[in-house]
Structure formats: C-alpha cells, structure tokens
A and B are shown apart, each in its own frame.
Chain A
Amino acid sequence: MDRDTLQKLEQLNQLSLTVQEQDDVLAFFAAREADWEALVEIDTEQVERMVHVQPLVNVLRDDVASQPFSREDLLAQAPESMDGYWQVPQVL
C-alpha cells in the first residue's frame, strides 16, 4: 500500500484522512507486508474456488409481495425529508 493508492481509496469512499491518519494506515499495512507476500506465494493453482464459507445453497423466497413498510417510520430515520422523499445535499 502506498500513499497514492490510499488517496485513491479515500476518494472512492468519500473519506478525508489527515496526514497522521494516512501515516497510521500505511504503517499498519507496512507491518503486515511480509504476511501478504507469504499468502501470495501459496500455490492455489489446483484449489477449487470456494464459493462461500457456509454449506448453504439456494436460500430463496417466493415472488410474493408483502404489505409495504410505513413510509413515515422510514423517513423518521432520515436526517431530512420533504414531500415523502429523503432529502440530501444537492449532487448535480
């Protein structure tokens, strides 16, 4: 992990780290670099891809619509709302 990669991740996640926080994250990754490299060296060529850690498949439901949730209860969770909409800072 280098500073450019970290800054790209910050931008993608809409985060803004201080220089000190960046240093802490970079130090965290640097301390584990040998571990990552050891993992990369493991030969997984013949290992079948594990799809999921749980031995469950086909957890599905029937296509039946239920009663809607209360809009008022949901909008009560919104920082701001207006005319039945969630209201957020302008994005365009």
Chain B
Amino acid sequence: MTAYETVIGLEVHIELSTNSKIFCSCTNGSDADPNTHVCPACCGMPGMLPVANREVINLGMTAGMMLNCDINRTTTFDKKSYYYPDLPASYQTTQWFAPVAVNGHVTIDTPEGPKDIRIKQIHMEEDAGKLVHDNLTFTTLVDFNRTSVPLIEIVSQPDLRNADEVEAYLERLRTLLRFAKVSGARMEKGTMRADVNLSVRPAGSQELGVRTEMKNMASIAAIRRAIEFETARHIDAIENGTEELVQETRGWNDDAGTSFSMRTKETAGDYRYFPDPNIMPIVIDDEWFDRIKASLPQLPEEKREHYMAEVGLSEYDADMLTQSRAFCDCFEGAMAAGAAPKDAANWIITNCAGVLNKRGMTSDELPVPGTALGQLIGLVDGGKLSSANGKRLLETLFDVAERDESIPEDMEAYAETEGLLNSSDTGELEAVVAAVIAADPETAQAYRDGREKALNPLFGACMQQLKGKCDTQVLRELLIAELNKG
C-alpha cells in the first residue's frame, strides 16, 4: 500500500488592534449595531478617497519583524476585483505587488525537534462586511461595520504536514502577535481566521497534488477535523477513484464532519489585480524601521528564562506569567513599583487570574496596570490594607476599567476613598477588643486558663466589628495584652 504525505499551507487572517479602520476614520468595532460604524468611504460610495492609517503600517511591520521577515521598504496597495454584496466597492484594497513583509519563518516544536515553517509574505488589507441571510424575506442583509477593518494576511509556504503541526503553528503565531500587541488574535471572536490549503502526494514525491482550499476556519478543533477528513478524501480519490479531485474552494460543515464544494477556485488573473491609484506608496525610511524594531517585545521564552535566572521565580510562576503579555507587563510594573517578585507573581497568578476567570475574561484582558498592583501589594505588606480588603480593592479596579474610567494613580488614597484602609486609630482597636471580651467572658476566661485556641473566636469577633479594616498583627497583640491583664 502506498504511503501518502499531506502538504498543508495556511493563509491566516488577523484583525489588527487599531482604534479606526484602515482607510477611513470609522471606529474599528464590528460588534456594534449594524451599520453604525460606517461612512461613505467604507460603504464604497463613488468619489470617496481612502487615506491609509499609519498604525496599520506600524502593526504590519511589527508582525513582519516578529515572524523574521524582510520588510519591503517601499510597500503599495492594490485593487483585487470580485463581485459580492459584502464588498461595496466591488474590489478589495489589498497588497499584491509589494506586500509589507516577505520571506520569514516561524519555528515550531515537533516530536522530531524544532521545525521552521517558512512565511511567504504578510500583506495588509481591508476586511469585507457581514451578510445575514433572512429566510423570511428571502433576501440578504448587509452590515458594513466590518468593511475596511484592518487585517494582515500571513501566507505560509506549504511546509506543514499534519494537524499537530498546524495547531503548533497557529498557537505560535497567536502568541507572537499577542505579545507584540498586533492583535488579540482570538479565533472564537473571529479576529483570527485561517484558510487551509491541502493536497496529498505519495511519500517522497516532490510534486504537489491537486490542492483544495477550505476558507474561514475559526477554531483549531475544527481545523484538525477538517484536515483529517480532507486527507482521507484525497487519498480515497487517488487510491480508489471515488471522485475526480479538482482545484476548488470547499466549505467545512463541522456538525456533519464533512467538507463540501463551494466553487471552482479563482486564479490570480480572475481578480485583475492592479495598483490602487488613490493610495500613495509607503516608503519606510531607516528612522521608521528602527523605531518599530526597537519597540519589539522580548519573546515569551526569553522572558521566561529571564524570570527564572535573574528574577528568581520558579519554573511554574515563570510559565504562568509568560502565557500573556498583559501578565508580563503587570508583573514587571508591579516590581518597578516596589513589589517583591514572588508576591507580584502570586497576586497575578492567583488573585488577578481568579477575577479574570470569574468575569469570563482572558489573561490578555487584565486591566490592572503593574504600578497599581505594586502599590496595592505594598499597602498589604505594610499593614495598611488587610489581605481580604486587598482582594476587594483589586475587584473594584476591574469595575473601574469596565466603566471605561482611568485606574486611580494613588492606590492608598483610592483605598481610603473606598473605605478599605486599615484603621490606624489604636484607641478604636482597644475599644473593640474591650467590648468583645466583655461580651464573651467565658471564652476570655478559657484563654486565660490556658486554652490557646479560644483566642480565635475572640479575634474573629473583633475582625467582624472592624469589618476587616485593621492590621491583624497589631490587633492580635492588643487582644492578647488585654486578655493577659485578666
């Protein structure tokens, strides 16, 4: 029986984290009510002129550098013509002749060791609108909010050989682009989508087989299933002649676990690419290139090594923090604000992650800056804030961010406004201690008779009256002193 090899190349679309669209100043926010982030330019009205967003070019360059690409110092936009209602101008503005980045690679881990997946190019382009098919009126409804939202498309060479490698490649892309703040790259939110190009050939052959493309795959699990199904379908067609393989675009029905023919694949000529005369060339000089290069983050594995070797974190803590750029930024900010590394790591991994989890947020969405967390930890360590109230204060910071308000700069003043600071009034503590002992003379006497555990309910009663706002060490000392007075 012939052994076969699957050959896979991916085209990955990543939505860029910008404030505005790529060629007009509408908000980049496709989740809003339909057609509320639109203007005559992104609706393709005649005579409207596009003006490119500088930040899109910055992020395109950043992505290129993160994926070890050469940056084209002169990069241009082109028109790709096709007719569909989600594309109001009847052409997509994209890059064909001089994409922003070319000839890169991404290294993935495989059971055989590290493997480089070559990147053919990264180009910048605009997204299309969303279509809703209305079965009551038998019409199609069009929402242009997503039209002209900035994307990069990362085109790999056909270097992937199975679903495991595809998963490793997508995860690596996601990590690198999130670390560089190019995109949230969340498949479940549609900000990362992949087209899977797949063919099958006898093992050892250098010739490529007939290639089919499955478009707009939005989950790694679905991609795995689609690759396995398509590989089996291709081999069956070659071995048993069950069907004639043709170059085509196919859809994937994840519920049924099958692919289906959508249309015969267009060739590049069908798109009639030509330079967009309305967008001037972009020339990247040394100053611009160097500025983007200098802004690149340390890679996650470099940070992990640094945290263990130089900061002194455990392997577990370093692994947990380097899952997310937001965690790393918060950790480093907290240390800069004076927090001990182990304390900062614990607060992020335990308390911040707990609140994120409770609110259904990802680690990349951590809204608490490191300076705020560092101050908060300092207040707890300094006895000005109880640990429980520190956690309450942390929760309120999430609320502040949720309301789109600025995180307060002075945590001590903020904790005071929130009424969470420990009482510094010893007189108040002494009064509470005296009242608690007077209210429960039997337990007090039990302690005096040598039953040390009797201290706990008395301490708890004091904490309850003080609503947790005290330095627990000071309270404990006062309570013991008062009890010992007899």
Chain A contacts to B: CB under 8 angstroms: 12-14, 51-54, 56-66, 68-69, 71, 74-75, 77, 80, 82-92
CB-based contact B282/A58 at 8 Å: yes
CB-based contact A52/B38 at 8 Å: no
CB-based contact B140/A87 at 8 Å: yes
The DSSP consensus for interface residues of chain A is loop
State in angstroms the CA–CA spacing of A80 and B137 once bound together: 12
Binary contact readout B338-373 vs A (1 if CB under 8 angstroms, 0 otherwise): 000000000000000000000000000000000000
CB-based contact B139/A57 at 8 Å: no
- Total contacting residues, chain B, CB less than 8 A: 53
Chain B contacts to A: CB under 8 angstroms: 18-20, 25-28, 33-40, 43, 45, 51-57, 74, 76, 81-85, 98, 131-134, 137-144, 270, 272, 275, 277, 279-283
Q: List 5 A-B contacts (CB under 8 A).
A: A63-B19, A71-B38, A86-B142, A91-B85, A92-B133
State in angstroms the CA–CA spacing of A87 and B34 once bound together: 12
Apart from A71-B38, A89-B139, 16 more pairs, CB < 8 Å: A12-B81, A12-B83, A52-B275, A57-B281, A58-B280, A59-B52, A61-B54, A65-B26, A68-B39, A86-B85, A87-B142, A88-B85, A89-B140, A90-B133, A91-B84, A91-B131
Q: Which 7 A-B pairs have the closest CB atoms?
A: A85-B141, A63-B55, A66-B25, A86-B142, A69-B39, A60-B54, A65-B20
CB-based contact A85/B142 at 8 Å: yes
A12 in contact with B51 given A54-B280, A68-B39 (CB within 8 Å) = no
CB-based contact A64/B140 at 8 Å: no
CB-based contact A85/B26 at 8 Å: no
Q: Measured between C-beta atoms, what is the minimum distance from B206 to chain A in Å? A: 32
Name the CB-closest residue of A to B51.
A61
Name the CB-closest residue of A to B54.
A60
CB-based contact A59/B51 at 8 Å: yes
State in angstroms the CA–CA spacing of A57 and B53 once bound together: 14
CB-based contact A61/B140 at 8 Å: no
State in angstroms the CA–CA spacing of A66 and B51 once bound together: 14
B34 contacts across to A, CB distance below 8 A: 83-85
Name the CB-closest residue of B to A57.
B283
Name the CB-closest residue of B to A63.
B55
State in angstroms the CA–CA spacing of A46 and B476 once bound together: 88
A68 contacts across to B, CB distance below 8 A: 26-27, 36-39
CB-based contact A61/B139 at 8 Å: no
